[in-house]
Amino acid sequence: MSKSLLSSKRAQAYALLLINTILWGFSAPIIKKALDYVTVNQFLFGRYLVASLIFVPIYYLLRTKKKNGLRHTNWRLLIFLALLGTPLTLIPLYEGLKLTSSLEAAILAATTPIMVILGSRLFLREKISANEKVGIFVALLGTLILTLEPAFSAGFKFTFSVLGNLLIIASNLIWAAFLIITKKVKADPDQISLVSYLISVPVFLILLLLESPLTIIQTNPGHPIALFGILYMAIAGSVIAFWAYTKGQALIPAGEASVFTYLQPIFTFPLAYFWLGESISQLGLFACFLIATGVYFSEYHQTSSGRTS
């Protein structure tokens, strides 16, 4: 393959992953603001209802003529992975986002690749270099400090922000488990995406119907900010950003693609600071420095060694 073609593919991958990074980077402040007017289940039901109406027809229109439909023997596995990767990941993420700042949530969520590397070592027996071990330790230390930073700032008292951060970490762990299991069983990502959309709508609808009527009465799903948040995440966050991510990461090594995940907080910061009035403490900045240092050590080895998983 010629160098010009490789360069063209890399440029295309970078452009697609940058689109994904920007759209997902903006998402945390937009979601947090929208959750002032709707419950988590209202938001997620609306998001996946709209996204499904767009994604499912496109999926069937663009399917190749090969026999790549869902096999009966795959249903249990696909449903399990769909539940793991969508409702079970997003509910703690959104509930955590309600309680903590969108900036801290974005930084914590960006540490997921580190957890995937560690999980791959524990469960897939993948080798980890000395640099990666140092990087993982430093990044996890920074993650722990950032998670507990609201408690330190409040005089070592447990706060709702700490609970929110812990929920974000729980969401990261569930998502990392989803990625590791998907890799181990070599599941088809297109089929998982389809089943995730088909499963998510009824799951979030059931959870919505189980909510207290008193809670629903206090919401305002018709508010412009709520509608904008739902439509943004349905179209930009679910359809466009996800498509850009899957296409982009297929063109370059996975380790190289994962670097873009760490860039998402850069695009979160302007909205979080100017729109929501959020800031981060000196201890939080120190934690971010540790996370960035850990990421450098772990990802530098992956890039230089050509690691793709």
The Cα 141–Cα 144 span in angstroms is 5
What tokens were used for 294? 């850990």
Average pLDDT, integer, range 180-193? 82
- Alpha-carbon distance 307 to 144, whole Å? 27
Question: Which residue is associated with the tokens 């009527």?
Answer: 213
What pLDDT was estimated at residue 173?
93
- Out of 3-17, 158-172, 173-187, pick the least confident: 3-17
* 244-301 confidence digits (pLDDT tens): 887 887 777 666 677 788 888 989 999 999 999 998 888 889 998 988 888 877 766 5
Contact 164, 28 (CB under 8 A): no
Average pLDDT over residues 130-154: 84
pLDDT score for 248 = 82
Helices 40-62 & 189-209 angle (0-180, nearest 10): 150
Are the CB atoms for 269 and 236 separated by under 8 Å?
no
pLDDT confidence bin for 307, thresholds 50/70/90: very low
Residue 223 burial (C-beta neighbours within 10 Å; 0-12, 13-18, 19+): middle
pLDDT for the residue 212 = 94
Q: Residue 73's pLDDT is what? A: 54
Share of the chain above pLDDT 70, in %: 89
- Could you say which DSSP state residue 281 is in? -
Q: pLDDT value at position 267?
A: 92
Q: How confident is the model at residue 225 (pLDDT cuts 50, 70, 90)?
A: very high
pLDDT given for residue 9 in this prediction: 81
Average pLDDT of the residues of the chain: 85
**Three-class secondary structure of residue 240 per DSSP:** helix
pLDDT digits (tens, 9 = 90+) for 87-141: 999 999 999 999 999 999 999 988 888 888 788 777 777 777 777 788 888 888 9
- The answer to whether 280 touches 103, Cβ cutoff 8 Å, is yes
pLDDT over 50 at 304, yes or no: no
Q: What does the pLDDT average to over 151-174?
A: 86
Say what the pTM is: 0.86
Whether the CB-CB separation of 33 and 101 falls below 8 Å is answered with no
Residue 41 burial (10 A CB sphere; 0-12, 13-18, 19+): buried
The closest of 104, 133, 130 to 117, measured between CA atoms, is: 133
pLDDT band for position 6 (cuts 50, 70, 90): low
